[in-house]
Amino acid sequence: MDRVKLCFIGCGNLATQLASAFAPCATILQLYSRTEASAKALAEKVGAPYTTDIKALTRDADIYICALKDSAFDEVLSKGDFKNKLLVHTAGSMPMSVLASYTGRYGVIYPLQTFSKNKTVDFAEIPLFIEACDGQTLDYLHSVANLISGKVYRVNSEVRGKLHLSAVFASNFSNHMYALAYELLNGSGLPFEVLLPLIDETARKVHSLPPKEAQTGPAVRYDTNVIDKHLKMLADDPQLADIYKLISTDIHERG
Amino acid sequence: MDRVKLCFIGCGNLATQLASAFAPCATILQLYSRTEASAKALAEKVGAPYTTDIKALTRDADIYICALKDSAFDEVLSKGDFKNKLLVHTAGSMPMSVLASYTGRYGVIYPLQTFSKNKTVDFAEIPLFIEACDGQTLDYLHSVANLISGKVYRVNSEVRGKLHLSAVFASNFSNHMYALAYELLNGSGLPFEVLLPLIDETARKVHSLPPKEAQTGPAVRYDTNVIDKHLKMLADDPQLADIYKLISTDIHERG
């Protein structure tokens, strides 16, 4: 395979991480962002030119990788010219078919990870979920995805949607539980760091046990003594008390 | 300090892990459990005698470590003889004062971790929160706790209670988010393992960023497009949809 030539459309967290991962093994021809500051920052990071005018995008790339937020897709893509070009998106919950109105060649590369702009992640271990308009394009995307990750899976839009929903629970919602713990610990004089070995072990445990079997604590034992004490402690924050009640009930009922 | 002599009251997950951690550096004189099978299993593991009769407990130990569940405390302890003996409990949400009716010397060693019987944990990194009836006993418990962990903190019962509540969110509730993700992925043909790099990175992130700043996903962006899609996918499980709604709202409102 010749060195692949890429354009990135969007310069947010995901584009930043993906472009950084591809930079050593692909040619990043050009970047586009509506926001000059984002475009410039990523352009400097990966040593590529940028534009804020989608009509000025080069026609010479092998793949155009769209990493915009879902709601910005049409506004940006409808103004560009992707005819006969391979256009892929990177979103969990958008069906591949949304790209069909811009070009006849399209696909998806969805990396299952939580990305922050300033925290580099190791792509080698990140599963990439790919889909394409036809078998030849799918094989091509597979080889390109393999440049950065050893874990490439072929899934359709429906499975990718389920995966994204699962990921919201496994990552965004578990992170929110950390955020609530952080808030609860605030004012006790103890730093959040004391919770880190617990957080790490909780994550480590599900490598060897299904999460249901790994569960511990008052809810799974349905220890109403402790649960009632906790609800009293949360009395001045009714929404937090509701979250406690609902999750405890759910742990007990599905346990 | 002479080699410390310990008795364990209760042989559940916590007692198993704690006795195993102390076994190389303390003498485990005797174990007690109401359940013969649990007592026998732990006795074999740490090479100590056991009893299922609390009245038959030796009077020769330096510390009696009670690792019963909260609701069993009084039933068991009131039948034993702990007069003038040092009795400590290991519970997050029980005030130290519950022990005052059994002896004049008491305290707490609370390890902040999630314990399963068959998964050994490395105590060296586990924070232990201690409390005692007087300064001399506190110093003594500190030196004993230091035998197994380098991270010993002195906190009162109120702070320990807050810590336990925080831990329920950080561990039990985040683990339940994993369990729900597991259930959602079921039937998609993808193994739960594809979520592990995401789960690990989510935990790793809060080592360097406060959880609120680490948050990503549709709720923090309040992307109603995606949220509505997800709620439709959860329509046949109203309680799960309620959890999704409540946590998403809370992420957005506290964000």
* Residue whose C-alpha is closest to residue A102's, from A117, A81, A116: A81
Residues of chain B with pLDDT under 50: none
Q: Which pLDDT value is given to residue A187?
A: 83
| Cβ within 8 Å, pair B197-A242 | no
CA distance B76 to chain A (A): 17
The DSSP output letter for B116 is B
CA distance B211 to chain A (A): 5
Q: Answer whether A188 touches B (CB < 8 Å).
A: yes
Q: Which pLDDT value is given to residue A27?
A: 98
**Which CATH class, in words, describes the domain spanning B161-254?**
mainly alpha
Distance CA(B113)–CA(B16), nearest Å, equals 13
Task: Pull the structure tokens for residue A197.
Answer: 């070995």
Q: Where are the alpha helices (DSSP H) in chain B?
A: 13-22, 36-46, 73-77, 135-145, 157-167, 174-185, 196-205, 211-214, 218-221, 224-233, 238-254
The DSSP output letter for B181 is H
Q: Which pLDDT value is given to residue A122?
A: 87
Q: Counting beta carbons within 10 angstroms of the beta carbon of residue B241, is it exposed (0 to 12), middle (13 to 18) or buried (19 or more)?
A: middle
Tens of each residue's pLDDT in chain A, 255 residues: 789 999 999 999 999 999 999 999 999 999 999 999 999 999 999 999 999 999 999 999 999 999 998 889 999 999 999 999 999 999 999 999 999 999 999 999 999 999 876 778 889 989 999 999 999 999 999 999 999 999 999 999 999 999 999 999 999 999 999 999 999 999 899 999 999 999 999 999 999 999 999 999 999 988 898 999 999 999 999 999 999 999 999 999 998
**A254: Cβ contacts below 8 Å, ≥ 6 apart:** A212, B179, B183
Q: Around B246, how many Cα atoms within 13 Å sit in the side-chain half-sphere?
A: 17
Sheet containing B152-154: order of strands: B50-51, B27-32, B5-9, B63-66, B86-89, B105-111, B128-132, B152-154
Distance CA(A129)–CA(B103), nearest Å, equals 62
Task: Pull the structure tokens for residue B118.
Answer: 């068959």
Distance CA(A83)–CA(A102), nearest Å, equals 7
* Residue whose C-alpha is closest to residue A219's, from A237, A199, A243, A238: A243
Q: Alpha carbon A244 to chain centroid distance?
A: 27
CATH 3.40.50.720 placement within chain A: 5-155
CATH 1.10.1040.20 placement within chain A: 161-254
Q: Answer whether A58 touches B (CB < 8 Å).
A: no
Nearest to A190 among B114, B163, B168 (CB): B163
Q: Which pLDDT value is given to residue B102?
A: 97
Q: What CATH number belongs to A5-155?
A: 3.40.50.720
Contacts of A235 in chain B (CB under 8 A): none
| Residue of B178, B183, B223, B228 to mutate for A, most A C-beta atoms under 10 A | B178
Q: Answer whether A44 touches B (CB < 8 Å).
A: no
* pLDDT 10s digits, B178-232: 999 999 999 899 999 999 999 999 999 999 999 999 999 999 988 898 999 999 9
Euclidean distance between the first and the last CA atom of chain B, given in angstroms as a whole number: 51
Residue located via tokens 């959602």: B184
Q: Which pLDDT value is given to residue A117?
A: 67
DSSP B200-253: HHHHHHTTTS-HHHH--SHHHHT-HHHHHHHHHHTTT-HHHHHHHHHHHHHHHH
DSSP chain A: -PPPEEEEE--SHHHHHHHHHHTTTSEEEEEE-SSHHHHHHHHHHHT--EES-GGG--S--SEEEE---GGGHHHHHTTS--TTSEEEE--SSS-GGGGGGT-SEEEEEEE-S--BTTB---GGGS-EEEEESSHHHHHHHHHHHTTT-S-EEE--HHHHHHHHHHHIIIIIIHHHHHHHHHHHHTTTT--GGGGHHHHHHHHHHTTTS-HHHH--SHHHHT-HHHHHHHHHHTTT-HHHHHHHHHHHHHHHHH-
CA distance B174 to chain A (A): 4
Q: Answer whether B75 touches A (CB < 8 Å).
A: no
| Cβ within 8 Å, pair B192-A210 | yes
Distance CA(B119)–CA(B124), nearest Å, equals 15
| Cβ within 8 Å, pair A199-B206 | yes
Distance CA(B148)–CA(A237), nearest Å, equals 37
Interface ipTM: 0.94
Contacts of B198 in chain A (CB under 8 A): 112-114, 167, 170-171
Q: Answer whether B243 touches A (CB < 8 Å).
A: yes
